[in-house]
Amino acid sequence: MFNTAKHLTNSRMIWLLVLPICLGCQQTKVVLVPSGDPVMLAKPTTASVYGFDADKKLVGPSNVVLPAGWYVLPKSQ
């Protein structure tokens, strides 16, 4: 009888530890951004980019690191 009561107590302790962890996993939300809208980078990202020189001539591509917090958007049509 003592072992059964101890087993139930251990089982309840395990559930009390595991349940908040499982519920915490569901707090993350993913929001899909409509195509064409600017988005903010969450972490630094390496990207291949084009630019313009002083004569307004297209140059590149060059690999650069875009810092977290920068906004990126698609090419206008």
User: Domain segments of the chain: what residues?
Assistant: 2-72
What's the pTM value of the predicted model, to 2 decimals?
0.49
Measured between alpha carbons, how far is 70 from 20 in angstroms, rounded to an integer?
A: 34
Measured between alpha carbons, how far is 60 from 51 in angstroms, rounded to an integer?
A: 6
Cis peptide before 61 (omega within 30 of 0): yes
Q: Could you report the per-residue pLDDT of 65-76, keeping only the tens digit for each?
A: 999 999 988 877
Q: Could you report the per-residue pLDDT of 16-52, keeping only the tens digit for each?
A: 777 666 665 656 666 776 777 888 899 999 999 888 9
Helix/strand/coil for 73: coil
